[in-house]
Structure 1
Amino acid sequence: MDAKDSIAPPADGPADPRAVAPALLDWYDRHRRDLPWRARPGEMPDPYRVWLSEVMLQQTTVATVRPRFTAWVQRWPTFADLAAADEADVMAAWAGLGYYARARNLLAAARVIAANHNGRLPETEVVLRRLPGFGAYTAAAVAAIAFGERAVVVDANVERVVTRLFAISTPLPNARPAIRAATNTITPNARAGDFAQAMMDLGQAVCTVRRPQCLLCPLVAHCAAHARGEPERYPAKKPKPDRPHRHGTIFWLTREGANGSEVLLVRRPDRGLLGGMRALPTGPWEQDPPGLAGAPADTCWRALNTQVSHGFTHFTLDLALVTGEAHGTVQIGEWWPVASLGEAGLPTVFAKAARAVMGGVEAG
């Protein structure tokens, strides 16, 4: 048992925690979602698809992931295929999903699996934790769903369901040890993977953030928050601090190439925000507008009468947009055809900027 599981669960909650799993699994057998990464009844799960989906779904909705997952497995259907992929192609395929360290860790883990594990994913939570990108949640989810190991799987949906079942009033994130301990008391030895997926489905469809559908919930008879008449009170969260605001400049530098207009793209440093991604050149992101600091070339820059705003996890950003034409050799980056810029795999903030610039240039 994990040391965290030794924390005593809350005193409140189901009268018989053992009754939760049978009720939930019965509901799941009748209402489970049909998802492209999920094994159908009677089928064996594909560990590669389970792992990929769990990584893609972190901080990202099912609606967004579904088409991206399908395109990904068509291009790289196995661990070996992904391990042999070019990093730039992987990062481009991930563009728009955010949290780009996930893509780098996917590639790193695939290469370790191919080199050290005969192309097969290890089957235990303990060994999975040694792979790149396998934190506590991912290792537990893959071990349970792909291999049936009893593991305590806690994502945001499970946090919400469990805090309501046990009426855990401690605000997040401080409540997480108690949530994990409570989840441990209701996780069954058999069908642990189905139980984890059932908890996720319940949180997505029934035990929702707002207006939970308690009358449709298979666990309503066990729910302490419902018994108190205040399910939406849970989970409690600490107020979020205001995010700092930054400013920057994006440089749209073009030239006429053999096949039409080309724009300069650069590769962002491997470490740091949007690491390893193709991007438009940008100066520093600072508290005050940096003007033309960090310009990729000495040319006549023209400011557009528009800007792009974007929110990251820890700060918000306003970007001024300037355009210019290259004269002579530019020492950095690569030239990309403007007509096929959508294939460059730009992160969302730079894709927004490109659309704004092209719209502004055409309008001008």
Structure 2
Amino acid sequence: MTEFSRTIIKWYQSNKRDLPWRKTSDPYQIWISEVILQQTQVIQGLNYYYRFLNFFPDVATLANANQQQVLKAWQGLGYYSRARNLHQAAQQVMLQFDGKIPDSKKDLLKLKGIGPYTAAAIASMAFNLPHAAIDGNAYRLLSRYFNIHTPIDTTEGKKQFETLGNQLITQNHPGDFNQAIMDLGATICLPTSPKCSDCPLYLNCQAAHNGQTINLPVKSKKTKRTRRFFNYLIILTGQEVYLTLRQSGDIWQDMYQFPLIEDTRLLSIAQLKKRLNWSYDNQRLIKKDQDIRHQLTHQELHIRFFYIITEHKSSIPSVINEQKIQFYNHDEVSHLPVPKIISDKLNHIFPKLIT
């Protein structure tokens, strides 16, 4: 065992976070936790972890569910491709692996949505196999300790860090090794303002002593975000609201939303009326709500909501009808998967619908 490995495991044994998936070797529960934590902090993901397992306690239950049920259980976590991949992978397990989650990294990689990091994490924690799980925490910790400037978003960088991790990982306690790096990266070796004085690796950390900590790890590219402008129409009649299903090939696919006019800008009320070419004989445009800016990994959404009260489910502009809209009442809405920005509005609307 190297000095690096010995130090972080000793630290982990005294400082590890008390998390439910660390009290089991069940590969299904470990898998669910890893997928949730890919884009979610532990403190936020914990309740979702319990909720998801309550809906789908084992791989067979998940495989037999329909996609709408899975998306609904995932609602609020974002990055919904994770939920769709989990669902498809569970079906793969049932069909290709006789209902048992594979016990090798090679076979785990065959499952939809499981990449090298997740496969290594499951293999090490559930099956005690010595595969280093290289995620953002590992890149940060290893690059700083060994003062590595190879960009982590290149093929060369990924290979270099994976090789290094596999050289360092302990054969007897590979799960503890990977989780020690996760906890050190999440609580001590932070992206900004790292707590170097509290780090057990400080004495031998090259970046800390060379003044390079804040410059590592290195990325060769900056994430570029596309700006999009969503003008949502919240159309209410009585105790019902119009919703439409988003199609595949875009964000939030197979989830429900209000009728949408996507434009090169956020529209004013006057611009909206002109765009809709809608006779307002039986409708009232009530108000334009507060705008929202919503950041995704590769997109920046600028969102505006318009409230429309209508007395009749007729004379709807063609630009809305083309979206295959349908009225839903409160009970129906409660079973539909919707993005968080839509659910926030729905939760506000239904307790006090304007009639």
Q: TM-score, normalised by structure 1?
A: 0.83
Aligned twin of 1:103: 83
Residues 1:128 and 1:176: Cα distance change in structure 2 (over 3 Å): same
Residues 1:301 and 1:83: Cα distance change in structure 2 (over 3 Å): farther
Residue 348, structure 1, aligned to residue 340, structure 2:
yes
Residue 211, structure 1, aligned to residue 193, structure 2:
yes
Residue 264, structure 1, aligned to residue 249, structure 2:
no
Q: How far 1:133 moved relative to its partner?
A: 0.8
SS of 1:320's equivalent? strand
Aligned twin of 2:73: 93
Q: How far 1:52 moved relative to its partner?
A: 0.4
SS of 2:20's equivalent? coil
Residue 60, structure 1, aligned to residue 43, structure 2:
no
8 Å contact from structure 2 (residues 151, 220) kept in 1: yes
Which residue, 132, 139, 159 being the options, matches 1:177? 159
**Residue-by-residue CA offset, 1:11-43 (whole Å, 9 max, x unaligned):** xxxxxx82211221111112111112222xxxx
Q: How far 1:294 moved relative to its partner?
A: 9.3
Which residue, 311, 334, 337 being the options, matches 2:329? 337
What letter corresponds to residue 243 of structure 1 in structure 2?
Answer: R
Aligned twin of 2:13: 29
Q: TM-score, normalised by structure 2?
A: 0.84
What letter corresponds to residue 211 of structure 1 in structure 2?
Answer: S
Aligned twin of 1:327: 312
Residue 141, structure 1, aligned to residue 121, structure 2:
yes
**Residue-by-residue CA offset, 1:64-96 (whole Å, 9 max, x unaligned):** 110011111112110011111121111011111
Residues 1:176 and 1:349: Cα distance change in structure 2 (over 3 Å): same
CA distance in 2 between partners of 1:191 and 1:326 (Å): 66
What letter corresponds to residue 319 of structure 1 in structure 2?
Answer: I
8 Å contact from structure 1 (residues 79, 110) kept in 2: yes
8 Å contact from structure 1 (residues 248, 291) kept in 2: no
8 Å contact from structure 1 (residues 247, 288) kept in 2: yes
Aligned twin of 1:3: none
8 Å contact from structure 1 (residues 253, 326) kept in 2: no
Q: Work out the number of aligned pairs and report it.
A: 338
8 Å contact from structure 2 (residues 55, 73) kept in 1: no
8 Å contact from structure 1 (residues 283, 293) kept in 2: no
CA distance in 2 between partners of 1:356 and 1:244 (Å): 29
SS of 2:260's equivalent? coil
SS of 1:37's equivalent? helix
What letter corresponds to residue 151 of structure 1 in structure 2?
Answer: H
Q: How far 1:242 moved relative to its partner?
A: 5.6
Matched ranges for 1:1-40 at <5 A: 18-39=2-23
Q: How far 1:314 moved relative to its partner?
A: 1.8
Aligned twin of 1:72: 52
CA distance in 1 between partners of 2:333 and 2:287 (Å): 20
SS of 1:102's equivalent? helix
Task: Give structure 1 stretches of 5+ with no counterpart.
Answer: 1-16
Task: Give structure 2 stretches of 5+ with no counterpart.
Answer: none
What letter corresponds to residue 230 of structure 2 in structure 1?
Answer: G
**Residue-by-residue CA offset, 1:158-188 (whole Å, 9 max, x unaligned):** 1110111111123442343332232232122
CA distance in 1 between partners of 2:41 and 2:275 (Å): 35
CA distance in 2 between partners of 1:187 and 1:54 (Å): 19
Deviates more, 1:329-338 or 1:98-107: 329-338
Q: How far 1:361 moved relative to its partner?
A: 7.5
Which residue, 263, 271, 275 being the options, matches 2:253? 275
Residues 1:293 and 1:69: Cα distance change in structure 2 (over 3 Å): farther
Q: How far 1:288 moved relative to its partner?
A: 6.6
CA distance in 1 between partners of 2:295 and 2:104 (Å): 37
Aligned twin of 1:202: 184
Deviates more, 1:211-220 or 1:329-338: 329-338
Which residue, 295, 300, 321 being the options, matches 1:316? 300
Aligned twin of 1:81: 61
**Residue-by-residue CA offset, 1:209-266 (whole Å, 9 max, x unaligned):** 223222332222332112324423322345736633221211212233xxxx011222
Q: How far 1:310 moved relative to its partner?
A: 1.6
Aligned-residue CA RMSD (Å): 2.9
What letter corresponds to residue 16 of structure 2 in structure 1?
Answer: R
8 Å contact from structure 1 (residues 253, 325) kept in 2: yes
What letter corresponds to residue 342 of structure 2 in structure 1?
Answer: F
8 Å contact from structure 2 (residues 231, 266) kept in 1: no
SS of 2:22's equivalent? coil
SS of 2:261's equivalent? coil
CA distance in 2 between partners of 1:187 and 1:58 (Å): 21
What letter corresponds to residue 108 of structure 2 in structure 1?
Answer: L
Which residue, 292, 299, 302 being the options, matches 2:285? 302
Which residue, 143, 147, 150 being the options, matches 1:167? 147
What letter corresponds to residue 302 of structure 1 in structure 2?
Answer: L
**Residue-by-residue CA offset, 1:115-138 (whole Å, 9 max, x unaligned):** 222221001111111111111211
CA distance in 2 between partners of 1:128 and 1:250 (Å): 41
Q: How far 1:193 moved relative to its partner?
A: 1.3
